[in-house]
Amino acid sequence: MRFAPARFAPATPVRVNLASDTQTRPTPGMRAAMAAAEVGDEQAGSDPTVWALCDRVAARLGKEAAMFLPSGTMANQVALATHCRPGDQVLAHEDAHILTSEAGAQSAITGVLVHGLPGPRGQFDVAALESAITSPSRYSPPQRLVEVEQTANRGGGACWPADLLCAVAACARAHGLTTHMDGARLLNAEVALGAPAAVQAAGYDSVWLDFTKGLGAPMGAVLCGSADFIDRAWLWKQRLGGAMRQGGIAAAACLYALDHHVARLAEDHANARALAAGMAEVPGLLVEPPETNLVFFDTARTGMSAAAFAARLAAVGVLVSVVEGTRARACLHLDVSTAQVEEALAAMRTAAG
């Protein structure tokens, strides 16, 4: 097993990149905003563009304060570390990013246990949460935090309904637990549900947005919460090496994304629906109906693994990502046009046949 990614040099030029919404390239307008950014030393508190981004995201998510971080993974781990003490237990969905995709940071660095809750589409209900709550004893790990993911990535990009988010947060609070929302794609949910992100996040003590997914920025996540929480979170930001210098160059891209790339997420969702509808007509592909920009599908009935199917597509310049076994994901974002969706569908028909 090697940890470093292979140097990606496709034999065929990439024509449609459905591999991930992280692979968007900064637009010319975004690059111009970055080049023009006023900067300082973020770590020393003197970068005005970073402060402008923090103020704007905190207001947009209805929280008192915010901090800029290099990545969403760091936002999750800073939040867990700030809310919890080593040995504490976090309750989250069993497919949660913190459990499946952060290289075990919750135990390697943060020192918490994550207890996975079951439920369809990456969501759990109040009954599942209630049944996982233990009565305090010196034998069991202290339960400290409930975490939700909006949208649920491995849940198929599904949106937690706003009232379920509210009910889960209320249940957590009634049991004395704090709450954290992994809002990597919260703005996709805002656009899809028509429910403001601040309303969805209202019951949560902390919440963050990832700017490198559908928003199209090259780096950065913004973590929000109470002023006291963000103050304490700075210790972990510093400790993990997440305190930056001329961070304004990156923050300017994020501000640009808030101005130009939020409403257009609806186009990605429409393209996802069009892709899924077309894929449903391809013999052998089983498609999960998308709610946002992620289209998960199963290749079992083509007789191919997801990897074999993805390799056939890659050979003609169409990239999708392999989840595991026969499960794969196609991801819509600002570098995929409606015409490219048609091109991808044509390639899938050939690859499946």
Ligand X SMILES: *Cc1c(COP(=O)(O)O)cnc(C)c1O
At its nearest, how many Å lie between ligand X and the CB of residue 321? 12
Residue nearer to ligand X on the CB measure, 265 or 285: 265
Cα separation of 118 and 95, whole Å? 8
- Which among 188, 186, 168 has a CA at the least distance from the CA of 178? 168
- Identity of the residue, 76 or 299, whose beta carbon is nearer to ligand X in the bound complex: 76
Nearest-CB residue to ligand X?
Answer: 72
Is position 21 an interface residue for ligand X (rule: CB under 6 A)? no
Phi, psi of 296 (to 5 degrees): -95, 140
With beta carbons less than 8 A apart as the criterion, state whether 321 and 22 touch.
no
How far apart are CB 130 and ligand X at their closest, in Å? 24
- Pattern of binders to ligand X over 219-248, x per CB under 6 A? --x---------------------------
Residue 97, interface with ligand X (CB under 6 A)?
Answer: yes
Choose between 58 and 99: whose C-beta lies nearer to ligand X. 99
Assign 3-class secondary structure to 314-341.
HCCCEECEEEECCEEEEECCCCCCHHHH
Which span sits near ligand X by CB under 6 A: 72-80, 103-111, 235-243, 288-296?
72-80
SS3 65: strand
Q: How far is the CB of 118 from ligand X (least distance, A)?
A: 18
Task: Please identify which residue in 42, 88, 95, 182 interacts with ligand X, judged by CB under 6 A.
Answer: 182
Verify binding: residue 268, ligand X, rule CB under 6 A.
Answer: no
User: Residue 312: which residues within 8 A CB-CB, separation 6 or more?
Assistant: 304, 350, 351
Residue 188 in the binding site for ligand X (CB under 6 A): no
CB-wise, 42 or 182, nearer to ligand X?
182
Q: Least distance from C-beta 227 to ligand X, angstroms?
A: 24
Cβ 34 to ligand X, closest distance in Å? 18
Residue 78 near ligand X by CB under 6 A:
no
Query: Tokens standing for 345?
Result: 């569908």
Pick between residue 242 and residue 248 the one whose CB is nearest to ligand X.
242
- The answer to whether residue 212 forms part of the interface with ligand X (CB under 6 A) is yes
- The reply to whether 184 sits near ligand X by the rule CB under 6 A is yes
- Of 71-79, 126-134, 268-276, 306-314, the window that binds ligand X (rule: CB under 6 A) is 71-79
Q: Which is nearer to ligand X, 179 or 212 (by Cβ)?
A: 212
Q: Which residues pair with 221 in a beta bridge?
A: 69, 210
Identify which of residues 39 and 98 has a Cβ nearer to ligand X in the complex.
Answer: 98
d(CA 158, CA 185): 10
Write down the least CB distance from residue 4 to ligand X, Å. Answer: 17
CB of 185 to ligand X, least distance (A): 6
Asked if 95 is part of the footprint of ligand X (rule: CB under 6 A), the reply reads no
Question: How far is Cα 181 from Cα 183, in angstroms, rounded to an integer?
Answer: 6
In sequence order, the 6+-apart residues with CB closer than 8 A to the CB of 295 are 18, 157, 272, 275, 276, 279, 287, 288, 329, 330, 331, 332
Q: Give yes or no for residue 288 binding ligand X (CB under 6 A).
A: no
Q: Taking CB under 6 A as the rule, does residue 210 contact ligand X?
A: yes
H helical segments located in the chain? 28-35, 48-61, 72-83, 97-100, 105, 126-132, 162-174, 186-193, 197-200, 227-239, 248-260, 265-280, 306-314, 338-352
Window of 65-73, 113-121, 307-315, 344-352 that interacts with ligand X by CB under 6 A: 65-73
Q: Does 71 help bind ligand X (rule: CB under 6 A)?
A: yes
Dihedral angle of Cα 302, 121, 217, 330, to the nearest 10 degrees: 10
Residues facing residue 93 across a β-bridge:
117
Return the structure tokens found at 69: 């971080």
Which residues make up the interface to ligand X (CB under 6 A)?
71-73, 76, 97, 149, 153, 182, 184, 210, 212, 221
